[in-house]
Structure 1
């Protein structure tokens, strides 16, 4: 039996996400975890291409400019990420019975 896995990297910025996916040998899907519509769209993209999502690693964060300065919108983004709570972006994930997968 051959084990196969498909890995997607989600990112808000398409150029950076596509570049990272190419460097890592993964696939890219546009995803902004602070936007429910973006989360639903990303899930639909993965579902359409793969038929299911087995594992989700949610590691949202905000990087600065590489020399210690945060991006201009970082305060708003950090507040939104901090207030998403346990039912944030993954709250839209449901199994075939409409239940969360955990």
Structure 2
């Protein structure tokens, strides 16, 4: 998840059990606003999940998907995707995830 930088940028979140959880920006490529949650144990990547950002067709932003997330005190992760057409919300979908013992993100 390194772009053109030699340094990995991330935000450390509170651990889930004994697994580290980090928020990693992926701001290279076609979209400059994307974040992934990742779980790490003993310096190994266990799982990753796209949780925040914007998506639209190249050169046409009349349709967008905006993704955001929240984490509650029990480490239930809610990822919400809103579909916008010409600036109006046409659909909203929320999916809840937990982190299993192996550090994978599992739909609830």
Structure 2-normalised TM-score? 0.25
More helix by share: 1
Higher relative contact order (CA 8 A, sep 6+): 1
Structure 1-normalised TM-score? 0.26
More strand by share: 2
